């Protein structure tokens, strides 16, 4: 339990996040607002006065998991009626009425455009919790189900390293209406944030210690500033010149919005991470048309070539959907062949998930058995390409930004390279989270390649991405100078 300087118990909030980087960015906004209102950020739901569940509805299982989690959290309210449960995010936007029926114990529901109202509610509740220690909050009583977050995580808002990666929202909503996607229905049409507000927030995050800034939007490269006419290339160029910025990345672009001018601008940003996520979804033109993706495979491939021309060392990653309504075996084979050609360093592969209210939900569905069988073939094909990509890192020393403890083994550390590959290494002797948060760039010698990433050993660490490698405060080699 955290206490204020006067020794009083502080109100606390626990935030669990499902879904995409947009949700992570929203959770961090809520955490920042909660902190400024005097709340502590709790590391477990059991210790919190307010539990916030930030939900996703992009796939059916995300929705089911969110409802499951709401029911688990009801145990906390049964134990202490003062605890408040809040649901925010896309499911909250879509299911407000249904949620009140299915989970009547939820105290408040805030849609994706109501974050300010959520912060107001926290301000209203705060006096109820402060100075009134909650009975049982410090004891060891646990609902056995609660520690197992079903995919959600509180890491994004409360761990020792979360401030190193800043998510800065540049745009909300989407106006493209892909026929499988719920986003325009729950987050609304494009709403581009003014450049001045974005730049101010990036500066603030750098000041708070961010080593990597991720610009986040549903169709991030469609961003433009109504006042100045600046496009996404201009924005990245400006952000890239900000004092103290170490690395810049962005997610998620739409292939159609990459112009020669934008990609050329990106090539001029020295801090840009060498990875572009370019969601393909399917390599069949017939499926792409039904998906309303606004490009053919040939047009998509032109964008791949454009990126390769301007950013030759850039890894391209993608999203793929199998089993979209009407997908035939030959449609699927087009995707399989394109993947086998080795275009993508990695891919997020999904079985099509029917979303209420979208056009594709009304169309004839591919059988589950066919979708599953295609999914497995696609995973196998992409895994071979991904593994080959990781194999190329063997024997090299790679600089990667620390994430924290490996989820599978607390004796190991996990980090991400600038091309978004997960690295895992044993914690060096004398490891402490505080010291590593100060020197968060790890130089890891890659010893093994896997499908999920690479493993190796930490041979040094650095305060800055372009800084010299130091260990225990002593310079051992200037890795970056050697590149």
User: Where along the sequence are the contacts to ligand SF4 (CB under 6 A)?
Assistant: 174, 176-178, 181, 183-184, 218-219, 254
Please check whether residue 377 is in contact with residue 319, taking contact to mean a CB–CB distance below 8 angstroms.
no
Tokens of 309: 């021309």
Task: State the Cα–Cα distance between residues 351 and 372, nearest whole angstrom.
Answer: 7
The distance of closest approach from Cβ of residue 253 to ligand SF4 in the complex, given in angstroms and rounded to an integer, is: 9
Task: State the Cα–Cα distance between residues 478 and 170, nearest whole angstrom.
Answer: 35
Buried b (16+ CB within 10 A) or exposed e, 89-102: bbbbbbbeeebeee
The distance of closest approach from Cβ of residue 439 to ligand SF4 in the complex, given in angstroms and rounded to an integer, is: 37
The distance of closest approach from Cβ of residue 58 to ligand SF4 in the complex, given in angstroms and rounded to an integer, is: 8
Q: Which is nearer to ligand SF4, 76 or 186 (CB)?
A: 186
Q: How many helices (H) and strands (E) does the chain have?
A: 16, 20
Q: Which is nearer to ligand SF4, 71 or 175 (CB)?
A: 175
The distance of closest approach from Cβ of residue 355 to ligand SF4 in the complex, given in angstroms and rounded to an integer, is: 10
Percent helix, percent strand, percent coil in the chain, to nearest 5: 40, 25, 40
Q: Which is nearer to ligand SF4, 178 or 248 (CB)?
A: 178
The distance of closest approach from Cβ of residue 427 to ligand SF4 in the complex, given in angstroms and rounded to an integer, is: 38
Determine how many CB atoms are found less than 10 A away from the CB of residue 208: 11
The per-residue DSSP string of 309-360 comes to HH-TT-EEEEEEEES-TT--HHHHHHHHHHHHTT--SEEEEEE----TTSGG
Q: Which is nearer to ligand SF4, 186 or 266 (CB)?
A: 186
- Phi and psi at 344, nearest 5°, equal -105, 130
Determine how many CB atoms are found less than 10 A away from the CB of residue 342: 14
**Gyration radius from the chain CA atoms:** 23
Handedness of CA 85, 91, 97, 101 (dihedral sign): negative
Q: Which is nearer to ligand SF4, 219 or 317 (CB)?
A: 219
Q: Which is nearer to ligand SF4, 254 or 303 (CB)?
A: 254
Task: State the Cα–Cα distance between residues 306 and 312, nearest whole angstrom.
Answer: 10
Q: Which is nearer to ligand SF4, 215 or 479 (CB)?
A: 215
DSSP β-bridge partners for residue 346: 317
The distance of closest approach from Cβ of residue 277 to ligand SF4 in the complex, given in angstroms and rounded to an integer, is: 12
The distance of closest approach from Cβ of residue 220 to ligand SF4 in the complex, given in angstroms and rounded to an integer, is: 10
Task: State the Cα–Cα distance between residues 196 and 251, nearest whole angstrom.
Answer: 20
The distance of closest approach from Cβ of residue 182 to ligand SF4 in the complex, given in angstroms and rounded to an integer, is: 8
Q: Which is nearer to ligand SF4, 58 or 266 (CB)?
A: 58
The distance of closest approach from Cβ of residue 157 to ligand SF4 in the complex, given in angstroms and rounded to an integer, is: 24
The distance of closest approach from Cβ of residue 377 to ligand SF4 in the complex, given in angstroms and rounded to an integer, is: 23
Show the CA angle centred on residue 351, arms to residues 180 and 297, nearest 5°. Answer: 65
Task: State the Cα–Cα distance between residues 66 and 60, nearest whole angstrom.
Answer: 10
Side-chain-side CA neighbours of residue 249 (13 Å): 24
Q: Which is nearer to ligand SF4, 51 or 181 (CB)?
A: 181
Task: State the Cα–Cα distance between residues 195 and 224, nearest whole angstrom.
Answer: 8
The distance of closest approach from Cβ of residue 390 to ligand SF4 in the complex, given in angstroms and rounded to an integer, is: 28
């Amino acid at each position: 339990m955290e206490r204020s300087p006067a020794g009083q118990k502080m109100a606390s909030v626990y935030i669990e996040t499902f879904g995409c980087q947009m949700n992570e960015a929203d959770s961090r906004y809520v955490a920042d607002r909660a902190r400024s209102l005097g709340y502590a950020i709790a590391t477990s739901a059991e210790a919190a006065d307010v539990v916030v569940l930030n939900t996703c509805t992009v796939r059916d299982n995300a929705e089911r998991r969110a409802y499951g989690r709401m029911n688990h959290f009801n145990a906390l309210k049964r134990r202490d009626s003062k605890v408040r449960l809040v649901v925010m995010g896309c499911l909250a936007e879509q299911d407000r009425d249904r949620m009140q029926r299915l989970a009547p114990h939820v105290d408040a529901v805030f849609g994706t455009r109501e974050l300010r109202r959520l912060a107001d509610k926290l301000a209203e509740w705060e006096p109820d919790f402060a100075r009134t220690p909650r009975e049982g909050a410090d004891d060891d009583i646990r609902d056995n189900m609660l520690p197992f977050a079903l995919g959600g995580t509180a890491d994004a808002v409360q761990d020792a390293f979360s401030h190193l990666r800043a998510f800065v929202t540049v745009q909300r909503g989407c106006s493209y209406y892909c026929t499988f996607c719920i986003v325009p229905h729950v987050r609304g049409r494009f709403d581009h944030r003014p450049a001045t507000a974005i730049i101010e927030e990036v500066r603030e995050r750098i000041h708070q210690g961010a080593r990597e800034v991720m610009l986040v939007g549903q169709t991030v490269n469609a961003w433009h500033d109504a006042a100045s006419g600046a496009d996404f290339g201009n924005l990245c160029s400006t952000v890239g010149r900000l004092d103290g910025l170490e690395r810049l990345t962005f997610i998620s672009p739409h292939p159609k919005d990459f112009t020669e001018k934008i990609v050329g601008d990106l090539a001029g940003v020295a801090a840009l991470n060498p990875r572009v996520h370019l969601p393909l979804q399917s390599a069949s033109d017939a499926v792409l048309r039904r998906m309303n993706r606004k490009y053919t495979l040939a047009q998509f491939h032109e964008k791949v070539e454009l990126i390769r021309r301007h950013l030759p060392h850039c890894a391209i990653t993608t999203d793929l959907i199998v089993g979209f309504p009407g997908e035939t075996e030959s449609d699927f084979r087009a995707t399989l062949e394109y993947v086998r050609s080795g275009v993508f360093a990695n891919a997020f592969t999904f079985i099509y998930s029917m979303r209420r209210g979208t056009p594709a939900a009304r169309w004839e569905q591919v059988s589950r058995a066919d979708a599953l069988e295609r999914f497995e073939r696609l995973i196998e094909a992409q895994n071979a390409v991904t593994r080959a990509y990781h194999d190329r890192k063997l024997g090299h020393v790679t600089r990667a930004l620390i994430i924290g403890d490996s989820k599978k083994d607390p004796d190991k550390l996990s980090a991400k390279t600038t091309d978004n590959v997960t690295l895992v290494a044993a914690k060096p002797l004398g490891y402490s989270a505080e010291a590593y948060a100060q020197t968060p760039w790890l130089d890891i010698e890659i010893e093994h390649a896997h499908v999920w990433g690479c493993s190796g050993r930490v041979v040094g660490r650095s305060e800055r991405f372009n800084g010299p490698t130091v260990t225990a405060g002593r310079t051992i080699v200037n890795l970056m100078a050697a590149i």
